[in-house]
Amino acid sequence: MSTLTRLGLPLCLVLSATACAEPAENPQNASNTASAVSATTQAIKAKPQESSKKWQWQTVAQGLNHPWAVAFLPDGQFLVSERSGDLRVVNTQGQISAPTSGLPKIDVGGQGGLLDVVLDEQFAQNRRLYFCFSEPGNGGNSTALAEATLSADKRSLTQVKTLFSQQPKIDSSAHFGCRIVLTPQYIYLGMGDRYSEKEQAQKLDNHLGKIVRLQRDGSIPADNPFAKQAGARAEIWSYGHRNIQGMTADSQGRLWMSEHGAQGGDEINLIEGGKNYGWPVITYGTDYGGGKIGEGISAKAGMEQPLYYWNPSVAPSGLTFVGNNPYGQDWEGNLLAGALKFGYVARLKLEGTRVVSEEKIEVGERVRDVRQGSDGFVYVLTDSSNGKLLKLLPQ
């Protein structure tokens, strides 16, 4: 019997990291909500609006095997990770290379495999990159973060070094999370709760359902919020997360993330060090098949509200901010989020940290990653065995 069968995972989670069904609204505990939600932080329920424009996507490449992340090489080519465990280069003509050699052993299966990949800011000089993956080991597997150097011919990785391994390892093929954000001093890694271990997201003695913050060499910053707390994992930056599928920094260096709920309750969060984001104690979602999660409450003192949540679920994926672009001034500073479940890109317009509108830009396929390239264009990866790299054309 497989791990997924033993855990009783819904079929949608066996097939992919996505939400399962469209739930009814989660009943809120009114007294808890009134006392716990601050005047400055109020969760906004998503109201996606169909776009008034007919957007077109250009196929850059197709034939990728469940592509998970795209990075933009200085020569105009693309580096693409595949969940099936391979790293490939896509050239400007859309040709897909043979797999790059040198990757560590990866536990491929379910939602696990080779996941996020990002380039060092000085990649043109040092050819360094970072990637995360499902790492096998005693007790099962877990999310791990590694750095490596890409050879000049792009055929191999060298100097591969694992910087971080999520603890403990779990016998599961679900909820790895695995998004990376680099800042000049730190690496942030967002991880899932591994599905069967959701209660651990509230405990500080493990890395399940956490964001960790590391120095660029993998060491632990002395000023991490729990670095001096007995019994806590010193790498932890924030906790109470379910399954982080998108993460990015804005122009002010603030950390934003998207995570999956169960049935409903997908969230956009603005992350602050040391904060508790509530899972599984509070959520705007319900359990698979119906029924409440925990006490069935959506707010509690000491736990952060999301900035924005979807109900029904859209299964958010890649997340990126838009800078200079060919789509118009109205896009500047917008937040883009992929939607696996309904096959679109959500263009979220912000006023400060408040989401004021959501435009649905239809893709028609499951969107796994969305990023703005160095050329200013928006690119997405579609999640299938014949996955595509697509480019959004301006009007």
Burial of residue 48 (CB within 10 Å: 0-12, 13-18, 19+) is middle
Whether 260 is a known active-site residue: answer no
CA atoms of 267 and 223, how far apart (whole Å): 27
Strand order in the sheet with 128-137: 114-119, 128-137, 140-150, 157-165
Alpha-carbon torsion 81, 210, 274, 27, what sign? positive
Please enumerate, as own/partner, the contacts of 195-199 that have beta carbons within 8 Å and a separation of 24 or more.
195/7, 195/9, 195/13, 195/243, 196/7, 196/170, 196/172, 197/170, 197/172, 198/242, 198/279, 198/280, 199/280
DSSP string, 197-240: TGGGGG-TTS-TTEEEEEETTSPPPTTSTTTTSTTS-TTEEEE-
Among candidate residues 160, 146, 64, 68, the one with its CA nearest the CA of residue 112 = 68
**Within a 13 Å sphere around the CA of 264, how many CA atoms are in the beta-carbon half?**
23
Catalytic annotation, pick one of 175, 207, 241, 260: 175
**Within a 13 Å sphere around the CA of 61, how many CA atoms are in the beta-carbon half?**
24
> Cβ distance 241 to 234 under 8 Å?
no
Among candidate residues 256, 257, 260, the one with its CA nearest the CA of residue 243 = 260
Active site residues: 175
